[in-house]
């Protein structure tokens, strides 16, 4: 069973706010000059910010934050964020892979940006609403 896709817009302003909250002021998250100098396509979103967006989707599917029992991802591709008002979008989808007798649901999650996967091995175990 597929769960409803969720789309999250990401702008440079979001990256500034996340940097302030997380304390991660690495210039690859705000300076095109620095990001391209180290071989990136431009400014990229913080990996943990991308994971947090996916966590928001998982929480919405599960119905409550405390329904998320386990959640993990591997980062595979950066989310480039252009210096425009529109920014970019991260699209999150999931498939129910298993429902245990104990009522736990395993989700296999896909997160993409411009059609390219940005996470691998993204999975969650949740208590889904009945």
CATH superfamily label, 2-10+45-127:
Hotdog Thioesterase (3.10.129.10)
Q: What percent of the chain shows pLDDT beyond 90?
A: 97
pLDDT per residue over 80-128, tens digit each? 999 999 999 999 999 999 999 999 999 999 999 999 999 999 999 999 8
- Cα–chain center distance at 36: 22
Domain residue limits, the chain: 2-10+45-127
Residue 60 burial by CB count (10 A; 0-12/13-18/19+): exposed, middle or buried?
Answer: middle
Q: Which of 88, 83, 85, 57 is nearest to 71 (CA)?
A: 57
Q: What is the pLDDT of residue 130?
A: 67
């Amino acid at each position: 069973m597929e769960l409803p896709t969720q789309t999250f817009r990401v702008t440079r302003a979001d990256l500034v706010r996340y940097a302030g909250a997380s304390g991660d002021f690495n210039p690859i998250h705000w300076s095109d000059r620095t990001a391209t100098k180290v071989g990136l396509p431009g400014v990229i979103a913080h990996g943990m910010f991308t994971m947090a967006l996916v966590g928001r989707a998982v929480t919405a599917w599960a119905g409550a934050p405390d329904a998320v029992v386990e959640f993990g991802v591997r980062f595979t591709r950066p989310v480039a964020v252009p210096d425009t008002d529109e920014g970019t979008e991260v699209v999150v989808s999931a498939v129910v892979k298993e429902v245990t007798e104990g009522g736990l649901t395993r989700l296999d999650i896909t997160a993409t940006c411009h059609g390219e996967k940005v996470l691998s091995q993204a999975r969650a175990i949740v208590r889904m609403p009945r």
